[in-house]
Structure 1
Amino acid sequence: MVILCVAGIFFTGQSVRAQELTVGIPKEATITGQYFTLGDIASINGDDTERIDSLRQIRLGHTPQPGQSYVLAGDILMARVRAAHVDLTGITWQMPKQLKVTALAQSISGQQLVKQAKQYLKASATGEVMITSAGQPQDILVPPGEIVFNMALPYGIRYNAPTSISVGVQVAGRPFTTAILRFDIKKYQQVAIASRALNANEPITADNIIFERRDIGRLVPGYFTELDKILGLPVKRQLAPGIVITENMLGQTVLIRRGQPVTVTAKNGSIEVMVSGIALQDGSKGEFIRVKNINSQKVISGQVIDDTTVRANI
């Protein structure tokens, strides 16, 4: 009986010692992720793997911003451990008076951000462009992990004002931050220029127009890049040589001349009537001119449809 008791004491003692754990927490630790656990900062030794796993999962706090640090007092650490409601019996603690926690980080330079944005802008713009960064963005610190850039142009590309581009930074598959960069973008095109002085009502020809390379962001809207779109159109007023030709400087080609025979059409419901007439005015497409009906000798107003047709309003 005595032997059995002694043996029981001996083996019970062995069992208690087998359950003992040692937890060592350093004075400083580097971490990553959204929050850190006891397992992230401490060395936990012992034979009870189940208890060790439970201890390792105890959450101690949020991770600071990448590259930044904060300090936790030892008693606060211990209070957070106890708040986890895990079995803490038989644990030897090696606890410092305070723990400095620093978040791991990697740097993305402002130059790298500009490079990524420029590549996106070049792919988005068409034709000959010159892209210049409007300032140098600051370097940013992000957590460790694979970096992916997501670009967007919230207001599109502008050639007469700074263009804003949104650079979203994704780390390890998760959005981290967004940087807004601005660029000056110049686009160059060959535009129609008066090669000499043009008189009012003089038509555009291949001889009095040349094409020159210009920064279109500095031009008034309505410039032309193709001769076919303005060939034969009259200028409304006298133009100086070297001026950029725009829409508001040009009239329409005269399709019908005064005294020209025309067909006058009129429609009443499903019935369309056509009569012969004489134009009393010059007219371009879409303009309203006076026309005399040859049969009735009445003067009516009609809209120029083409070079032989006027549609009357009835």
Structure 2
Amino acid sequence: MIYRFATTALVACLAACPLAAAASQSLDVLRDSAVAWLKQNRTLPGARMVAEADPLDSRLRLADCAAPLDVSVPGNRPISSRVSVVVHCPAPGGWTARVPVKVRMLMDVLVTTRPLARGDGLGAGDVRAEERDVASLAYGYVASLDQVSGRALARPLNAGTVLTPGMLAGRQAVRVGDAVSMEASVDGVVIHADGVAMGAGDAGARVKVRNASSGKILDAVVSGPGSVAVLP
């Protein structure tokens, strides 16, 4: 009788009490890790990054990683308004997941205060600094009057126009084929290398450059005569 009662109780428990599930990786930790890595490694100098990871599929089940997560963005593409961040568990039998992140790179840029004509020079009263999302400015931007000193406008501009290097006539700090000094920041360490300009422009213009040693083509911003800053 006692044996029958114990057997019945065991069967009932197996039916009603689920087995302990293996520990699963928190999806919120994946999202937070992707955002934190972007802010630490891919923020432009002088800019303020605002990043938000998209919700991940709640059906995604990943084993809890026994090692620190490895986070990266493949390739050398500049950060845009949407980034796919790779989060990898390097432990044996680990997994890899992609976290979509919306990014804004906020920075003070120059905006015209009044209508300006072609050939006009630019003074302090012609522009003002406004915070804009430079990740969405495909044609570059101008951050200070020092970058446009002695320059004239190549075309007329309306008030409230974000000033870009392509709107300015005259001087070119870098020309196609010029040997340039490349500066890049990798994990907080500044690295210098020799390169060749594949585009032309003044300070603030986006150009392609070729690493003289590796031959790799990189995106960069002209920082001055013969020098460029490689985009993260």
Aligned partner of 2:133: which letter? D
- Name 2:142's counterpart in structure 1: 224
Alignment match of 2:165 (pick from 247, 253, 260): 247
User: How far apart in 1 are the matches of 2:93 and 2:39?
Assistant: 24
Seen in structure 2, the aligned counterparts of structure 1 residues 118 and 137 have a Cα distance that, compared at 3 Å, is: farther
Aligned counterpart, 1:59: none
Residue aligning to 1:199:
117
What displacement does 1:152 show?
A: 1.4
Q: 1:195 to 1:209 in 2, by over 3 A?
A: same
- Give SS of 1:114's match: helix
Aligned twin of 1:182: 100
**Which is worse superposed, 133-142 or 205-214?**
133-142
Match of 2:214 in 1: none
- How many residue pairs match? The answer is 149
Determine which structure has the larger strand proportion and give its number: 1
Distance in 1, Cα, partners of 2:123 & 2:150: 6
Distance 2:76 2:55 in 1: 19
Which runs of structure 1 show a deviation greater than 6 angstroms over 4 or more consecutive aligned residues?
Answer: none
> What percent of counterpart residues are identical?
23
Matched, 1:115 2:23: no
- Structure 1 contact 105–141 (Cα < 8 Å) conserved: no
Distance of 1:113 and 1:169 partners within structure 2 = 10
Tell whether the 8 Å contact from 2:27 to 2:56 is kept in structure 1 after alignment: yes
CA separation of 1:156 and 1:168: change in aligned 2, threshold 3 A: same
Partner deviation per Cα, 1:247-290 (whole Å, 9 max, x = no partner)? 2211116xxxxxxxxxxxxxxxxxxxxxxxxxxxxxxxxxxxxx
Looking at structure 2, the residues matched to 199 and 193 of structure 1 have their Cα atoms a distance apart, in angstroms, of 15
* Structure 1 residues 113 and 156, CA gap change in structure 2 (3 angstroms): farther
Higher relative contact order (CA 8 A, sep 6+): 2
Report the Cα distance in structure 2 between the residues aligned to 1:237 and 1:104, rounded to whole angstroms: 66
Residue among 20, 33, 48 paired with 1:128? 48
- Cα distance change of structure 1 residues 161 and 113 upon mapping to structure 2, 3 Å threshold: same
Aligned residue for 1:122, secondary structure, equals: helix
Equivalent position of 1:7 in the other structure = none
Checking the alignment, whether the CA contact within 8 Å between 2:110 and 2:129 is kept in structure 1 is yes
Gaps of 5+ in 2: 1-18, 172-232
CA displacement, residues 61-89 of structure 1 (integer Å, 9 cap, x when unaligned):
xxxxxxxxxxxxxxxxxxxxxxxxxxxxx
Residue-by-residue CA offset, 1:102-158 (whole Å, 9 max, x unaligned): 997211121111112222111112230111112324453427x73321111114575
- In the TM superposition, what are the counterparts of 1:276-287 in structure 2 within 5 Å? none
Q: How big is the shift at 1:159? A: 4.3
Amino acid at match of 2:155: R
SS in 1 for 2:159: coil
Provide the C-alpha distance between the structure 1 equivalents of 2:155 and 2:86, rounded to a whole number of angstroms: 46
Amino acid at match of 2:55: G
**For the residues of structure 1 that align with 2:119 and 2:162, how far apart are their CA atoms?**
17
User: Is 1:153 aligned to 2:70, yes or no?
Assistant: no
Residue of 23, 26, 48 corresponding to 1:106: 23
What SS does structure 1 have at the residue aligned with 2:36? helix
The match for 2:133 among 215, 229, 235 is: 215
Larger Rg: 1
TM (normalized to structure 1)?
Answer: 0.43
Contact 1:106 1:142 in 2 (8 A): yes
**Structure-1 residue corresponding to 2:82:** 162
Separation (CA, whole Å) in 1 of partners of 2:78 and 2:102: 8
TM-score of the superposition, structure 2-length normalised?
0.57
Q: Secondary structure at the match of 1:170?
A: coil
